[in-house]
Amino acid sequence: MAEGEEEVNYASVVFKAGNNPPPAEKRGEETVYGEVKVQNETKSEDSAGRRRFQHLACCLGILCVILLGGIIGVCVYRVQELTTRIQELETEKKNLKQQIQNLTTNRNELNVSRAQWSIDSYCLGNTDEKCKPCQKGWLLTEPSCYAYHDPPFFGWKTWEEAREDCKGNNSDLAVAHDSVEKETIKEKSIGYNGYWIGLRVEDGKWKWVDGSDLTDSSWIAAPDPVDGRCAVFYKGKNTWLSVSCDKPRQWICQKKALSV
For 5-39, the pLDDT digits (tens) are 445 454 454 445 455 555 555 555 555 555 555 56
Domain ranges (residues) in the chain:
22-131, 139-256
- Which class in CATH covers the domain with range 139-256? alpha beta
Q: Please state whether the peptide bond connecting residue 133 to the residue before it is cis, i.e. omega within 30 degrees of 0.
A: no
* Of 230 and 25, more confident: 230
Of the pLDDT bands very low, low, confident and very high (cuts 50, 70, 90), residue 198 is very high
Mean pLDDT computed over 174-195 = 84
User: How far is Cα 104 from Cα 96, in angstroms, rounded to an integer?
Assistant: 12
Which has the closest alpha carbon to 232: 156, 118, 142, 134? 156
DSSP 223: -
Q: Is the full-model pTM beyond 0.85?
A: no
On whether the CB atoms of residues 206 and 218 are closer than 8 A, the answer is no
Span 121-178, pLDDT tens digits: 666 555 555 678 888 888 888 889 999 998 998 999 999 999 999 999 889 999 998 8
Mean pLDDT computed over 217-230 = 85
Q: Helix, strand, coil % (nearest 5) of the chain?
A: 50, 15, 35
User: How far is Cα 255 from Cα 171, in angstroms, rounded to an integer?
Assistant: 5
- Give me the pLDDT at residue 175, please: 94
